[in-house]
C-alpha cells in the first residue's frame, strides 16, 4: 500500500521495521523535521546530555543485548561529538547505527551554520556511511545500514540526511531492500581448512584456545565452550571476550596480555598451537610481536579476512562466522577422532594449571588501610554472582574489573577495549540498562573517567534507568600515574586530580541520584547491600581508594610477554 510520507516519517517507519525500540539522541536544527514525527513513533527517545553520551549509550545497548544500538544527532557539532563513540564502536566491532541531520542540500559546501563534512569525517571510523540526497532512498539506506551494522564483522554505520531531504515527501511502498553487490560476508569456513585445522590440533601437544570478542558478537558462547571441552583445550579470553567462556570452566586461565594473568600470558608464550577465534592479535595481548608465542603455529578464524595475517601469520587461516566455524570444527573433530578420546595433553594441562595455581591474582587488603580497588570489585562480584551486567571506563579500574570480576556469561561485560575511551562507563551503563531493564547494571568507574561523562547521570535519573555506579576514587588518572611512576622516574605530570575533586556524593544528589561514600574496608559489603536496596533511582558510590595501588601483572610496553612482571618488586 502506498502512502505519502515525509523523509523523516519514512526514516522512522524504516527504523520501526528494523525493530528499533529506543534511540539515544540530542536534537538540533537540522533534525527538527525528524523530532516532530518522533513524538508519534513507537520508538522511545532517550535524551542524552551530550552526543558522546548518546553514542556510548547506543553502544552499551548493543553490547548488552546483541541488537543494533541507535543514536541520533544534529549536524555539525552534533555529528562531530559522535566521532568518539563511532570510533569506539568501530574498534570493538559493536553494531551501532547513527542518524545525523545535515544542513539543507542547497547549503552543503557553503560553510553553512552547523555544517560539517560528516561523512568525510566519519568514513574512517565507521564500517560504512551514507549521505542521503534523495528522499526516496531512505528505506533502502536504512535497511542497508542495519544489514551492514549487524552482519559480517559488525560495526557502526552512519546515515547523514540533509534537512530538506527529511522534510521532502515520498511515496512509501514498503520497507527497503539491500543492494550491495560487493558485500558478501562468509558464513561457513572452507571445509579443507576445517579439516587441516583439526589435523593440526590433534598433532599439537601444547594447544591454547585464544578466544576473542568476535565470539561474543557471533553469539558463539555455547559452541566455544563445547569445542574447548571436546578438544581438552585450555582457554584464555581477551578483554573483549571476558565471559564468552565461563571463568569457572576448569581449564580457563584468564585474560592474557599486558595486565593478564601469568598463566594466560605464559600459556600463549609456551604453546605450540594457538586456536585463535574472533581475536586480532592486539598489541595489548601480544606485547612485542616478534617475541609473541614463538613456538606456536596458528589457526586463525575470523569473519574479517583482513585480520588474518595482519599481525601474525596463520598456518591455517579460516574466514567465517565464529559460530558456524565452531560447529564445523566440533563435527570435524568428532569425525577425525572416530570414537577415540581427544588427546589429553596431560603434561601441558598440568603445566598451565600449575601456573594458574602458583600465580593467582592477589591483593592485600589491610583492615586498617585504605580500600583497595581490587577488594571492592571482588566483593561486588561476589555479591552479584552472575546476575549483573558490569560496565567499565578505561584505566586501572577497568583492568581490575576484568581481573577480579567472575565472568560467567557473554554480554554481561561492557567496556571500551580497542579505542580505550575514558568516560565510557556511565553512558554505556545507561544504554545497557535500557536494553536490560530487569537486570542490575553496575558501572565500575574511575574518578578521571567519571568526570568526562558524568552529565549523563541526570539522563539516567530522569529517564528512569537505575544504574549503579561505583567510582574508584584514587584522586588521579591512575594508569597514567602508574606509568609515570614506573617508567618516568616517578615524575608525576598532569595526573593529580585530588586537589580539585568535586564532592561526588553531592554531585550525585544534585543529578537526581542517590549518593554514597565509603572509605573503610569493613563497610564495603554493607554499602553494596545498601546500593542494591535502592531500586527507583541511580546510585553513585564514591569508593575512597588507595591512591598508590598499581595494576599487576604487567608486561612493560614494547616488552616481550616472557618478561611479565608479577608485582612492584619485579620491576626493580
Q: Which residues bind another protein (CB under 8 A)?
A: 119-120, 123-124, 127-128, 131, 133, 148, 180-186, 304-306, 309-310, 319
Active-site residue, selected from the candidate residues 3, 113, 199, 506 = 113
Task: State the nearest-atom distance from the C-beta of 183 to another protein, in Å.
Answer: 5
Alpha-carbon dihedral angle through residues 220, 226, 228, 232, given to the nearest 10 degrees: -170
Q: Which is nearer to another protein, 137 or 223 (CB)?
A: 137
Task: State the nearest-atom distance from the C-beta of 120 to another protein, in Å.
Answer: 7
The partner residues of 443 in beta bridges, in order of sequence, read 391, 469
Task: State the nearest-atom distance from the C-beta of 83 to another protein, in Å.
Answer: 14
**How far apart are the C-alpha atoms of 61 and 92, rounded to whole Å?**
14
Task: State the nearest-atom distance from the C-beta of 219 to another protein, in Å.
Answer: 21
Going by their DSSP bridges, the two strands 169-172 and 3-6 should be labelled as antiparallel
Strand order in the sheet with 273-277: 235-237, 207-211, 273-277, 297-302, 316-319
Task: State the nearest-atom distance from the C-beta of 192 to another protein, in Å.
Answer: 14
Active-site residue, selected from the candidate residues 9, 18, 24, 51 = 51
Task: State the nearest-atom distance from the C-beta of 121 to another protein, in Å.
Answer: 10
Q: Which position has the grid cell 539543507?
A: 104
Tell me whether the omega of the peptide bond preceding residue 312 falls within 30 degrees of 0, making it cis: no
For 191, the grid coordinates are 571445509
Q: Which is nearer to another protein, 177 or 248 (CB)?
A: 177
From the number of C-beta atoms within 10 Å of its C-beta (0-12, 13-18, 19+), residue 491 rates as exposed
Q: Which is nearer to another protein, 134 or 496 (CB)?
A: 134
Host H or E run for residue 449:
helix 447-453
For 220, the grid coordinates are 558463539
**How far apart are the C-alpha atoms of 41 and 46, rounded to whole Å?**
13
For 14, the grid coordinates are 524504516
Active-site residue, selected from the candidate residues 9, 24, 57, 163 = 163
List own/partner pairs for 289-294 with CB under 8 A and 24 or more apart: 291/560, 291/561, 291/562, 292/268, 292/560, 292/561, 293/268, 293/269, 294/269
Residue 97 near residue 157, CB atoms below 8 Å: yes
**How far apart are the C-alpha atoms of 546 and 339, rounded to whole Å?**
56
Active site residue 51: yes
CB-based contacts of 376, cutoff 8 Å, min separation 6 = 470, 472, 524, 543, 545
Q: Which is nearer to another protein, 179 or 346 (CB)?
A: 179
**How far, in Å, are 260, 484, 543, 544 from residue 480 at the CA level?**
18, 6, 20, 19
Task: State the nearest-atom distance from the C-beta of 299 to another protein, in Å.
Answer: 18
Picking from 312, 238, 327, the residue whose alpha carbon sits closest to that of residue 278 is 238
Q: Which is nearer to another protein, 120 or 437 (CB)?
A: 120
Residue 407 near residue 246, CB atoms below 8 Å: yes
Please provide the distance, in angstroms rounded to a whole number, between the alpha carbons at the two ends of the chain.
75
Q: Which is nearer to another protein, 324 or 507 (CB)?
A: 324
Task: State the nearest-atom distance from the C-beta of 305 to another protein, in Å.
Answer: 5
Task: State the nearest-atom distance from the C-beta of 304 to another protein, in Å.
Answer: 7
Active site residue 146: no
Cα torsion angle, 447, 453, 457, 463, sign: negative
Residue 247 near residue 241, CB atoms below 8 Å: no
Half-sphere exposure of 128 (CA within 13 A, CB side): 18
Cα torsion angle, 309, 312, 317, 323, sign: negative
Cα torsion angle, 299, 304, 307, 309, sign: positive
Q: Which is nearer to another protein, 26 or 324 (CB)?
A: 324
Q: Which position has the grid cell 539522541?
A: 25
Q: Which is nearer to another protein, 23 or 131 (CB)?
A: 131
Active-site residue, selected from the candidate residues 399, 479, 511, 554 = 479
Task: State the nearest-atom distance from the C-beta of 180 to another protein, in Å.
Answer: 6
**How far apart are the C-alpha atoms of 150 and 234, rounded to whole Å?**
30
Number of Cβ within 10 Å of residue 27's Cβ equals 18
Active site residue 537: no
Active-site residue, selected from the candidate residues 16, 21, 114, 455 = 114
Task: State the nearest-atom distance from the C-beta of 312 to another protein, in Å.
Answer: 13
Name the residues annotated as catalytic. Answer: 51, 113-114, 163, 479
Amino acid at each position: 500500500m502506498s502512502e505519502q510520507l515525509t523523509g523523516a516519517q519514512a526514516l522512522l517507519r524504516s527504523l520501526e521495521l528494523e525493530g528499533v525500540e529506543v534511540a539515544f539522541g540530542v536534537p538540533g536544527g537540522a533534525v527538527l523535521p525528524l523530532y516532530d514525527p518522533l513524538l508519534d513513533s513507537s520508538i522511545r527517545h532517550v535524551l542524552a546530555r551530550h552526543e558522546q553520551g548518546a553514542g556510548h549509550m547506543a553502544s552499551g545497548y548493543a553490547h548488552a543485548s546483541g541488537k543494533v544500538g541507535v543514536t541520533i544527532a544534529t549536524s555539525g557539532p552534533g555529528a562531530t561529538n559522535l566521532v568518539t563513540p563511532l570510533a569506539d564502536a568501530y574498534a570493538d566491532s559493536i553494531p551501532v547505527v547513527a542518524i545525523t541531520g545535515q544542513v539543507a542540500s542547497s547549503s552543503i559546501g557553503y560553510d553553512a551554520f552547523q555544517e560539517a563534512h560528516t561523512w568525510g569525517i566519519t568514513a574512517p571510523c565507521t564500517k560504512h556511511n551514507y549521505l542521503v540526497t534523495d528522499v526516496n532512498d531512505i528505506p533502502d539506506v536504512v535497511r542497508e545500514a542495519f544489514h551492514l551494522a549487524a552482519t559480517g564483522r559488525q560495526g557502526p554505520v552512519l546515515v547523514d540526511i540533509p534537512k530538506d531531504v527529511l522534510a521532502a515527501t515520498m511515496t512509501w511502498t514498503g520497507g527497503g531492500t539491500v543492494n550491495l553487490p560487493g558485500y558478501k560476508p562468509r558464513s561457513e569456513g572452507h571445509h579443507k581448512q576445517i579439516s587441516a585445522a583439526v589435523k593440526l590440533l590433534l598433532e599439537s601437544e601444547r594447544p591454547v584456545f585464544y578466544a576473542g570478542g568476535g565470539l561474543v558478537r557471533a553469539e558463539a558462547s555455547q559452541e566455544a565452550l563445547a569445542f574447548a571441552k571436546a578438544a581438552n583445550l585450555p582457554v584464555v579470553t581477551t578483554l573483549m571476550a571476558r565471559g564468552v567462556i565461563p571463568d569457572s570452566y576448569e581449564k580457563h586461565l584468564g585474560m592474557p596480555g599486558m595486565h593478564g594473568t601469568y598463566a594466560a600470558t605464559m600459556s600463549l608464550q609456551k604453546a605450540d598451537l594457538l586456536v585463535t577465534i574472533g581475536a586480532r592479535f592486539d598489541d595489548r595481548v601480544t606485547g612485542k610481536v616478534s617475541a609473541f608465542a614463538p613456538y606456536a603455529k596458528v589457526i586463525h578464524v575470523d569473519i574479517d579476512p583482513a585480520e588474518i595475517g595482519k599481525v601474525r601469520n596463520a598456518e591455517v587461516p579460516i574466514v567465517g562466522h565464529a559460530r558456524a566455524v565452531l560447529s564445523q570444527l566440533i563435527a570435524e573433530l568428532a569425525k577425525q577422532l572416530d570414537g577415540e578420546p581427544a588427546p589429553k595433553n596431560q603434561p601441558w594441562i598440568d603445566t598451565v594449571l600449575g601456573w594458574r595455581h602458583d600465580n593467582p591474582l592477589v591483593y592485600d587488603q589491610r583492615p586498617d588501610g585504605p580500600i583497595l580497588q581490587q577488594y571492592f570489585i571482588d566483593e561486588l562480584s561476589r555479591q552479584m554472582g552472575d546476575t549483573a551486567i558490569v560496565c567499565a571506563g578505561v584505566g586501572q579500574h577497568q583492568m581490575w574489573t576484568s581481573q577480579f570480576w567472575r565472568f560467567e556469561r557473554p554480554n554481561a561485560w561492557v567496556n571500551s577495549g580497542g579505542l580505550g575511551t575514558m568516560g565510557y562507563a556511565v553512558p554505556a551503563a545507561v544504554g545497557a540498562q535500557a536494553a536490560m531493564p530487569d537486570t542490575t547494571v553496575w558501572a565500575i568507574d574511575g574518578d578521571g573517567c567519571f568526570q568526562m561523562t558524568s552529565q549523563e547521570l541526570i539522563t539516567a535519573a530522569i529517564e528512569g534507568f537505575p544504574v549503579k555506579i561505583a567510582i574508584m576514587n584514587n584522586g588521579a588518572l591512575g594508569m597514567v600515574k602508574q606509568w609515570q611512576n614506573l617508567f618516568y622516574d616517578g615524575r608525576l605530570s598532569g595526573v593529580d586530580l585530588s586537589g580539585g575533586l568535586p564532592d561526588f556524593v553531592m554531585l550525585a544528589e544534585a543529578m537526581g541520584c542517590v549518593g554514597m561514600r565509603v572509605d573503610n574496608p569493613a563497610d564495603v559489603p554493607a554499602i553494596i547491600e545498601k546500593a542494591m536496596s535502592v531500586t527507583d533511582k541511580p546510585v553513585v558510590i564514591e569508593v575512597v581508594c588507595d591512591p598508590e595501588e598499581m595494576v599487576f601483572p604487567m608486561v612493560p610496553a614494547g616488552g616481550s610477554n616472557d618478561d611479565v612482571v608479577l608485582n612492584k618488586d619485579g620491576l626493580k
